Copies of this chain bind each other. A is one copy, B any other.
Amino acid sequence: MRHTISILVENKSGVFTRIGGLFSARGFNLDGISVGPTEDNSVSRLTIVTHGNDKIIEQVNKQLNKLIEVIKVIDLTLEDHVERELALIKVSCNSETRSEIMQIVNIFRANIVDISARTLTIEVTGIVDKVQALINLLRHFGIREVARTGAIALKREYERT
């Protein structure tokens, strides 16, 4: 099963190595990793997307909680959450295919962020499946390069009644 795990850590050198080590020691393939600052400068948030046996992921969660730099581990898979990914896609184009690509870009509410005579670079944000669907659609024009962030996620809020 696919898991999205959000980890708040103290922003110290070496912490990513230790967390990466925890996953690789168990042979986990990380589908995506995102690390960025939070509202507190001393704290970073890691979002890890991985897939595997639920029991083993539960063990990894426990191991993560034992690391001294780890403040909080949330397996968002178990909660209702908002998840988003960002991708930059550089696709080949010419004067004939450009308008067709631009139509696809509009349908996906994506943006063109760089243009040359032979390429378009597209920025798209959405759930992982949407980003993948756009990449699949653009494939036959010739994809030159792709950079994807891996997903980030936050828990949805509910009204307390």
Contacts and interface: CB of A to CB of B under 8 A. Distances in A.
Interface of A: 6, 11, 13-14, 16-17, 20-21, 23-24, 27-39, 45, 47, 82, 84-88, 90, 113-114, 116-119, 121, 123, 125, 135, 139, 143, 145-150, 152-159
8 contacts: A31-B37, A32-B35, A32-B36, A36-B146, A39-B146, A47-B149, A85-B149, A86-B86
* Interface of chain A, main secondary structure: strand
Contacts of A125: 86, 123, 125
Given A150-B35, A152-B86, A116 B21 contact: no
A29 B12 CA distance: 7
Contacts of A47: 147, 149
Oligomer copy total = 2
A157 B159 CA distance: 48
A100 to B, nearest CB: 19
A147 B24 contact: no
Nearest to A31: B37
